[in-house]
Structure 1
């Protein structure tokens, strides 16, 4: 029978619309002013920390909605922004050195919706407010580090080959080796040229037997590109770890990175996260010299004195770096066979080879893990590169129990919490090159709210005018199209809320306005085709059937070509263009569903299987 849907189609339609309503619902609840409180350097917070924070708020008679530990951070919600600002000032005064305290906006979604994973749409910087940073990467640092590793590698390879040399030293973008004889120089050149294909070697016998290896332009470019890309990945991991919704981290030019953190109202928090420009190093502890003598100013040559991060105790370590944190690809905390805390570390293949050679002669010796932090000074050197202050702390000392390779464990940790913190530092990654914030900009939540209000006005005015036109021009069928249009907006919001990576921006709202018109366009084609069939003398049921079937190919062609354009915009675009492309693509998919399947289901329910003389069209 014409124009009859089976029961399963109506059930499917109701289920899809129900899911859309469910996931769109959290957007009606808004957000609460909140404080996001986390431990320094990612340390996990416990119930004692929560009670301490609650006690301070109660002491200052500050009213708050709730306070709980969420994702290893304390989240305190308030009734208004005045209480939020007052509490931040009070907590900073009492606990500023113990915690990172930041203003934030937390969704006020009911628990039953959150339990279903139904969360509000993520809003971009232009709608929600937040902070924008332009960061410059110090490209001299990765080059220097690569040269240092090359010098260390030359020494190791020559020792393994039992080739005598006077010394290995650094030169610009390379390393220089001095030998005692021409025979040693020739043997070394043969071995090193075979192992270091990316380095150009040149020997000289005019003023001694010297072999110089320098990096080519392609290798230098590769090192800089690799440093920039790894920095982007690590920064993205850092801001994701503190719960910033959909941060934007992308490169700008050859040496700069743009970071946008929607919803973050406190630039101090962002700087504390992004400015933690750090790396890790593994070195042997110097047991041959007295650490107390070194602490009094008599540091022996070939060693350096640093202090424990937790206790402040001095530790004397060798200058020679066994391995840097650049080669760590994973780390996790666990317990050894004796129930003591340990950290399991995985290296890349190159790091495994380097560490294996470095530790084979150091079994039974203590090894220190150094946390090296670079803090920007705001100054520049004569080459225009940013100048950083270097701070080094010892975060762990463990005994090497066997020759270490790609996977190893470090023990001797004081507590499971210390093991978790060390694993967090190792896994989060160390920036390959120091960075400095050269530009910062704050977009206030009031400006973001103004953008939202203006965008919503544009959507609602477009929606109302389209509803008015369809109801007047197509009568009863127009009302059905209007119902489908309303469902289309709900589904767009629901899908945007469901997709983890989807973020609504101001251009994205423009995409929604565009899809409102496109959704009605499909119904216009269908309804006009039904009118043509009626004018040709077809009966109402036949006209409805032919109208939907005949118009489908035209609607599909138009929407598919537009969808392809949206995919291209998303693939090659950036920032606002991507936001527009996302909402446009989602809007096309939902409008096809509501305009064709949705309206036909309603019309079949009203007219299908009945003797109808006239259609309200």
Structure 2
């Protein structure tokens, strides 16, 4: 048996506990209002919609429209852009080509207190068909009519960017809020022709579906593809118009098929309950391991702490520059299940060590053979969990993820799905198994082989055997 020095035990224990502590607390520095994250802690975890609260909505093309895969992808991209303009960056947008659906999940805005799901969906649904039309003729219902209905100058795809700005726009030097449009190449010629024809005579109205959102007058011909919309804007109204224009380049109108909401109070309550149950379970498991297996139980508890630290680090990204992972309630369940898997691995090893001691092996021989003979059973069990986790992540995760690409030849067996909660469960299960390999097998093995060399731990009783007389 290759000997492991006595200091190895203390080195592994210190590194493991330090790593676990840092993965929980993190390290940050504060200089004035600037907060610099050096190591990410649990406060950097991104909580999923089922915890933070939010909306899960499914959109479909308007009745009679059979959208192509490219059109669905284009609409989904507009949805993403619209969410970003609303300062919602922690979102999920997927397309289901088989059933012509776009699935959108987004959390409540940070600090939002008015959880009106219909308003949130309506705000996102304003990313319908955007058009620029000649004049502003309307019928009794406010819909475009006459020349306005017949003459579409630009569509949303012809606008590259709209931006709300504040400053002077004429020779008077008076500062005001305005919206600046930058046109795509596809719209420059049509807009130049229209503004040349309508300059000083009429307006160009801007419509979201059949709702007019602005009707600025044309003061001069615009031939360079950059236009300014002005006229008694406030900051809020200018930004609102810019956001609507930026999010309006849909290739077809969308309808809401169904939606569901989660109140953040219920979500955080479930999260806190699961975290508390996990902490209690961890403490009870440690007590059980120590009472039943003595020294191997203590080593197992240190390894389990390292496994928890590894899972938390994988969720937060640990160091700046690494992406964090969105944690859902099933994801928390995956963490707890992974701890159970880690406990199982340590129990198998501890039982093997106990059996070897009872069969007359020396302490060193029992430790070596215990890990050696337990490894195959632990390895087989962990590999099956890895396979299950990868299948869950490939089947229920984003279609462009590495796991989905890996399993692409097999995914025809499963219906199209983008269930982020199940994806989170698969992820935490996978990282938990990997962490168990690192800490529950290899780190615990080196700790046990090292600590067994101390004279005070040469008694078979501390490994579950009979006490020396």
What residue number does 1:22 align with?
A: 25
Residues 1:608 and 1:21: Cα distance change in structure 2 (over 3 Å) = farther
Give 1:397 shift: 5.3
Decide which of 193, 208, 215 is 1:394's aligned counterpart: 215
* Higher relative contact order, structure no. (Cα contacts within 8 Å, ≥ 6 residues apart): 2
Give 1:572 shift: 0.9
Give 1:559 shift: 2.0
1:138 paired to 2:62: yes
Residues 1:427 and 1:440: Cα distance change in structure 2 (over 3 Å) = closer
Unaligned runs of 5+ in 2: 397-417, 464-469
Scaled by the length of structure 1, what TM-score is found?
0.52
Decide which of 323, 327, 330 is 1:507's aligned counterpart: 330
The SS at the match of 1:586 is: helix
What residue number does 2:301 align with?
A: 482
1:443 paired to 2:262: yes
Give 1:257 shift: 4.4
Asked if structure 2 preserves the Cα contact closer than 8 Å seen for 1:245 and 1:262, the reply is: no
What residue number does 1:238 align with?
A: 82
Residues 1:399 and 1:609: Cα distance change in structure 2 (over 3 Å) = farther
Cα distance in 1 for partners of 2:450, 2:10 equals 11
Asked if structure 1 preserves the Cα contact closer than 8 Å seen for 2:129 and 2:249, the reply is: yes
1:564 paired to 2:387: yes
Asked if structure 2 preserves the Cα contact closer than 8 Å seen for 1:238 and 1:273, the reply is: no
Asked if structure 2 preserves the Cα contact closer than 8 Å seen for 1:280 and 1:325, the reply is: yes
What residue number does 1:73 align with?
A: none
Asked if structure 2 preserves the Cα contact closer than 8 Å seen for 1:533 and 1:543, the reply is: yes
The SS at the match of 1:391 is: strand
Q: Deviations over 1:374-424 (max 9, x none)?
A: 4xxxxxxxxxxxxxx53342368586665x7xxx54457689979977765
Residues 1:443 and 1:421: Cα distance change in structure 2 (over 3 Å) = closer
Give 1:548 shift: 4.0
1:323 paired to 2:247: no
Give 1:519 shift: 0.7
Cα distance in 1 for partners of 2:392, 2:131 equals 43
1:530 paired to 2:374: no
Give 1:540 shift: 2.9
1:415-494 to 2 correspondences below 5 Å? 424-437=243-256, 439-449=258-268, 451-452=270-271, 455-456=274-275, 459-460=278-279, 462-494=281-313
The SS at the match of 1:433 is: coil
What residue number does 1:578 align with?
A: 423
Residues 1:599 and 1:445: Cα distance change in structure 2 (over 3 Å) = same
1:3 paired to 2:4: yes
Cα distance in 2 for partners of 1:409, 1:2 equals 75
1:121 paired to 2:42: no
Cα distance in 1 for partners of 2:14, 2:284 equals 32
Q: Deviations over 1:304-362 (max 9, x none)?
A: 3xxxxxxxxxxxxx953343122556667899xx9999957474xxxx4x446646867
Asked if structure 2 preserves the Cα contact closer than 8 Å seen for 1:328 and 1:429, the reply is: no
Residues 1:22 and 1:446: Cα distance change in structure 2 (over 3 Å) = closer
**507-516 or 446-455: bigger deviation:** 446-455
Q: Deviations over 1:435-485 (max 9, x none)?
A: 344545443445435533553465356435533432232112112212332
The SS at the match of 2:391 is: helix
Cα distance in 2 for partners of 1:22, 1:428 equals 39
Cα distance in 1 for partners of 2:264, 2:234 equals 40
Cα distance in 2 for partners of 1:245, 1:480 equals 42
What residue number does 2:315 align with?
A: 496
Cα distance in 2 for partners of 1:129, 1:24 equals 28
What residue number does 1:104 align with?
A: none
Cα distance in 1 for partners of 2:345, 2:249 equals 53
Scaled by the length of structure 2, what TM-score is found?
0.66
Cα distance in 2 for partners of 1:117, 1:425 equals 36
Asked if structure 2 preserves the Cα contact closer than 8 Å seen for 1:472 and 1:478, the reply is: yes
Bigger-Rg structure (1/2): 1
Give 1:138 shift: 1.5
Unaligned runs of 5+ in 1: 26-109, 144-219, 305-317, 375-388
Cα distance in 1 for partners of 2:281, 2:214 equals 60
Cα distance in 2 for partners of 1:396, 1:587 equals 62
The SS at the match of 1:515 is: helix
Decide which of 244, 254, 257 is 2:99's aligned counterpart: 254
What residue number does 1:521 align with?
A: 344
Asked if structure 1 preserves the Cα contact closer than 8 Å seen for 2:274 and 2:332, the reply is: yes
Asked if structure 2 preserves the Cα contact closer than 8 Å seen for 1:24 and 1:493, the reply is: no
Decide which of 276, 281, 284 is 2:126's aligned counterpart: 276
Residues 1:472 and 1:344: Cα distance change in structure 2 (over 3 Å) = same
The SS at the match of 2:294 is: helix
